[in-house]
Structure 1
């Protein structure tokens, strides 16, 4: 029995959750992130835990962490300079994309600029046919010509994505091998190796995002491993994945796209665990850190999964927790454009220098500064005493924006808060529409350093049922990474009509996927515990453009029960779209298999019952909803099960601040969650 450690490294703070396997107790910590020196935050955190709680790094037998380094690079467009090598005649793949108008309801909306502009896309004379047969070998001269252009443009890495390479990646591999000879040390990424899915754009954009963040991720992982070794941690680190599982560092380096949603997926897993254990049937997880706000749907304690999740302005087509990431976080910078219009984000102040109120040299006004300027935060320690909020510095930063806008500091600060809410409102509304959700039936489960601070404002705008704030919201993502199962996805494209002749193909393909999955779990991950295998297929009616992922029973595969597969697809189509066509031909595109190895889970502790009314620790004045109000401040540690009080109010604790608005009431449940609901008018 030893210690299991989960760490979530965000753009502003790094969170720790430590599970002691002897008694299933959990201890938590929050320190400032060090993007300038990756790994330093881990060293600092483990040192604090050793001093504060007597935790010996040598006793850590399991270490997992999530990071937002990938998603932050995409959101802020701070990845590396890439070139794309495409099949001759298909160089416009990123420009053409899917010809969708995004966002569709915004009259002023514009399609995002590609991560690789057209002048850095170069043609390679080659061709693979749709059956995976080489129709034209790679013309080496075209590779030499492309490499010269790559060098002329000063590109840091190259992505190769050829037509039909999901069937056969031989030509991509041939070009990669040639580039290794001609330009040793140049990072090269093949779409067929990253995620070999059908459809050129989807496969290409997924490979591009993976390559875009890879050098930053690699540098980060190297520094992280060194920091653990220097601290004497014997456990090999694992990284949380976009699909809500964890993987080893070697896989994370090779498949960076699998960890783009690493930190966000960890948060959803943590929120799902709380929702399931506390009996919350319908929640939206709201994870707001320093750079982004991440929202996911959780039904009956289970997160929703899918492909094509949006990261910044782009979709990634890998299996992942269904989460929408919005470029609005506590550190998002407010600014005035050349038309004199107040804007917020997507650039973030991060942790260094951070918001102006942190007193670490930051001068730009941020969302956190707005909350400090109006008086809602800064009445106690923040981030486990790593931050002391300086309201005067926040007011000065907001004042520099207020002057050209012709508004007061309070008005400017509240407008910053409103703009941030409106940005989140638009994206969350789209998520609600996508899942057909009535917001009045859902609660926000708010976490992250800024989630409880901002959640009530957003819940009011969306007409939500209310807000739930778990006991340690600031470090819930670290807990999610700690309890995440070892998990990996495998896919194989089949592309054929479903009839009796497909039965042996199903058996052979799934047997191959199963062997690969078991090798990954038991061989590469050295896991010998219980595991589950989940089978599914991407199916569609002949003539349709897109597929529906349909769950399959293992017995259908082993028995060759093709009719059961078809019937399951009809039912799923009926459920999603309200109709099905049992006479139509069904087409099989992909076969999928997910393997998961279970990890230990902590036990949630119940709070003692309250013996009297909740007592405020003091009174503050804050500017809320256009007026200065006097409101009580409560210490979270002093609240017991059954305590109730009305807003406006502020609840302080070590890892965050909860802001309760007028017209809202708070009740503490037996698990220590703050249940915030609207008072009927």
Structure 2
């Protein structure tokens, strides 16, 4: 028996969750992240756990790790300088995209600038037909010319994305082999190896995002592995994936797009586990860290999955937890543009220097500084005593914005909070519309270092049912990574009409996917426990442009029952769009298989019942909703099941601060969750 450790490394804090295999109990910790020295935060955290809780590194039997390094690079556009090699005549794939106005509800909205500008896209003489037959072999001279141009532009890596390479990646591999010989120092990423899906733009964009973050991720993972080895941790680390599972480090390096939503997916898995154990049927997870706010839909304790999730300004077309990431975190920097308009984000102060109130040299005002300036935070230590909030420094940072705006410090701070809320409101509203959700039926499950601090404001704007704050919200993402199953997705494009003639091919294709999946789980991951297989297919009616992922039963494949597949698609189409056409031809585009190996889960412990009313530890003065108010402060560790109190209130604990607004009431349930609801007027 040993310890299973989950670590989530964000832009500001690194969170630890430790499962003791003897009794399934959980210990937690939070330390400052070290983007200047990746891995140092892991060494520091493990040292504290060994000293404080007796978690010896040599006794760690399982180690999972989620990180926001990938998503932060995309949101802040701090990835590497890339070149794109494209089939001659298709160089504008990133510029043309899907010709959508983004966002459609914003009359002034603009499509984002591509991560690779047009002057770094180079033509290659080659052509693959739609059936995967080579019509034109790779022109060696065109590759040499493209390499020379990429060198002249100072590119750090190259992405290769050719027409129809999802059918046959031979030409992409040929170019990669040439570049490996001519320029071994330049990393090369082939779209057919990253995620071989039909549609050139989606496949190219996914490969570009993977290449954009890969060198940074690789450097990070190398430092991370070195830190674990120096600490004497025997367990091979696993990395949390965008699909809510985990994978080995080697796969993470090769397919780093799979971990772009690593930290965010971990948070959703942790929130789903809490929602399932505590019987919360309709929940929106709200994970706010230092750089971003991430929102996902959880129904009956199960997260929703999909493709095309938005990361910053772009979609990634890999299977992932359906989560919307917004560039508004606790460390997001407030600024005044040249028109004199107050803006917030997307740049973040991170952990170094961090918000001004951290006292680590930061001078820019952030969302966290706004909450400190109005008096809502800073009444207890943050991040397990790693942060001492300096309200004077926060006030000074806000004052530098207040002067050009012609406002008081309090007014400026509240307006920073309002601007941040309005940004999140717009993106969360789009998510609600996408899923057809009535916000009055849903609660926010708020976590992350800044989630409980900001959740009530956003819930009020969205007219939601209320907010739930779990017992250890600041480290819930680490817990999610700890309990995530080993999981991987496999896909094969077919592009055939669904009729009896396709049945033999379908059986062979799924058998091949299953063989690959089992090899990945048993050989690559060394897993020997119970596993599950989930089959699905991307189907559409002939003439439609996009597909619906439809669940399939293995028995249908075994007996070649194409009618059952078609009926399942008709039912799914009816459920989503309110109509179906059973007489129309159905097309089968992609086959999908997901394999998962189950991991141990902790036991949630019930909180002792209260034997007296909740008593505040004291009163503070805070500027809330345009007025200075007396606000009671409660210590989370002193609260018991059944305790009730009204807002405004502040609840402080080791890993975060929860801010409760006026006209809200708080009840502590038997699991220790804070159930915050609106008081009827």
> What is the TM-score normalised by the length of structure 2?
1.00
Instruction: Specify the SS of the correspondent of 1:480.
Output: helix
Instruction: Specify the SS of the correspondent of 2:113.
Output: coil
CA distance in 2, matches of 1:610, 1:513: 54
Instruction: Specify the SS of the correspondent of 1:543.
Output: coil
Deviations 1:410-429 (A, max 9, x none): 00000000000000000000
Deviations 1:574-593 (A, max 9, x none): 00000000000000000000
Q: Could you list the runs of 4 or more consecutive aligned residues of structure 1 that deviate by over 2 angstroms after TM superposition?
A: none
Alignment match, 2:83: 83
Alignment match, 2:436: 436
Deviations 1:348-368 (A, max 9, x none): 000000000000000000000
CA distance in 2, matches of 1:293, 1:376: 20
Alignment match, 1:387: 387
Shift of 1:22: 0.2
Alignment match, 1:619: 619
Alignment match, 1:597: 597
Alignment match, 1:127: 127
Superposition CA RMSD, Å: 0.3
Alignment match, 1:152: 152
Alignment match, 1:352: 352
Shift of 1:184: 1.2
Alignment match, 1:340: 340
CA distance in 2, matches of 1:182, 1:602: 52
1:12-23 matches, cutoff 5 A:
12-23=12-23
CA distance in 1, matches of 2:40, 2:554: 46
Deviations 1:529-567 (A, max 9, x none): 000000000000011000000000000111111110011
Aligned length: 681
Alignment match, 1:10: 10
CA distance in 2, matches of 1:159, 1:631: 55
Alignment match, 2:375: 375
Alignment match, 1:176: 176
Shift of 1:185: 1.6
1:224-623 matches, cutoff 5 A:
224-623=224-623
Instruction: Specify the SS of the correspondent of 1:113.
Output: coil
CA distance in 2, matches of 1:480, 1:183: 41
User: What 5-or-longer segments of structure 2 have no aligned partner?
Assistant: none
Deviations 1:126-175 (A, max 9, x none): 00000000000011110011001000000000000000000000000000
Alignment match, 1:675: 675
CA distance in 2, matches of 1:210, 1:55: 35
Deviations 1:448-473 (A, max 9, x none): 00000000000000000000000000
CA distance in 2, matches of 1:304, 1:318: 14
Instruction: Specify the SS of the correspondent of 2:111.
Output: coil
CA distance in 2, matches of 1:33, 1:184: 33
Instruction: Specify the SS of the correspondent of 1:22.
Output: coil
> What is the TM-score normalised by the length of structure 1?
1.00
Deviations 1:331-384 (A, max 9, x none): 000001111111000000000000000000000000000000000000011100
Instruction: Specify the SS of the correspondent of 1:670.
Output: coil
CA distance in 1, matches of 2:345, 2:269: 27
Shift of 1:308: 0.2
Shift of 1:177: 0.3
Deviations 1:189-227 (A, max 9, x none): 000000000000000000000000000000000000000
Alignment match, 2:50: 50
CA distance in 2, matches of 1:438, 1:65: 34
Shift of 1:386: 0.2
Shift of 1:478: 0.1
Deviations 1:479-505 (A, max 9, x none): 000000000000000000011011101
CA distance in 1, matches of 2:80, 2:599: 35
Tell whether 2:654 aligns with 1:636.
no
Alignment match, 2:34: 34
CA distance in 2, matches of 1:670, 1:213: 43
CA distance in 2, matches of 1:608, 1:366: 38
Shift of 1:19: 0.2
Shift of 1:54: 1.3
Shift of 1:247: 0.1
CA distance in 2, matches of 1:604, 1:182: 56
CA distance in 1, matches of 2:651, 2:150: 55
Alignment match, 2:98: 98
CA distance in 1, matches of 2:499, 2:674: 54
CA distance in 2, matches of 1:113, 1:186: 24
CA distance in 2, matches of 1:184, 1:357: 46
CA distance in 2, matches of 1:181, 1:506: 39
CA distance in 2, matches of 1:25, 1:535: 35
Deviations 1:16-48 (A, max 9, x none): 000001011100000000000000000000001
Instruction: Specify the SS of the correspondent of 2:344.
Output: strand
Shift of 1:640: 0.1
